[in-house]
Amino acid sequence: MIRILSFCLLILSQSATAQTLLVLGDSLSAGYQMAIEKSWPSLMEPKLASSSPITRVINASISGDTSGNSLDRFPALLEQHQPNWVFIELGANDGLRGFPPKQIRSNLAKLISLSQGNGANVAIMQIQIPPNYGQRYSKAFADIYPSLSKDMQIPLIPFFMEKVVLTDGWMMSDGLHPKDIAQPWIAEFVTEQLLPHLNKQG
């Protein structure tokens, strides 16, 4: 009887501390042209489970998504998964389509506010776009992320693609997406960047 009670208490304790991380992104996170289990969010789950309160990672990323697309579907995701943390990797498709930076910032701010209103902590990834969009637009776009981080008091995670694009054999022939061979490094990089924040809040 005592053993059964102890086991039940252990399960309840683990359930109380178990937390969920929802990754909301585009093709850079969705496992573009590869099995979902090879994507970096999937590879993060065991790493986080062994070193943070996060025991479940939900990859809600969809290739081609803009910040507006994600905003439309986000309330249902929050209701379904009730995440403790939301990690936002969005904006690349907005930038590549030349959407106004104010519109992109507004959409991202709404995603952050919805997350926080649902009781979730939020982290956001810095996104960069190619310089051929012009210095003025590229700077206005890049400035969205540190501005949001400061104003909404959330962690800003460096852009993992800066390393990926410079590593031979890690990019697909389209020059936009990382191959499956790059996914373990990305998972390690994002995990290391998130851990201090996850453990601080956890």
Q: State the catalytic residues.
A: 27, 174, 177
Kindly state the helix (H) or strand (E) to which residue 102 belongs, with its residue range: helix 101-117
Buried residues in 4-29 as b, exposed as e (16+ CB within 10 A)? eeeeeeeeeeeeeeebbbbbbbbbbb
| 3-class secondary structure, 122 | strand
The Cα 102–Cα 140 span in angstroms is 9
Nearest to 184 by CA among 173, 176, 192, 175: 192
Sheet holding 85-89, edge to edge: 54-59, 19-25, 85-89, 121-125, 156-157
Parallel, antiparallel or unpaired: strands 121-125 and 85-89: parallel
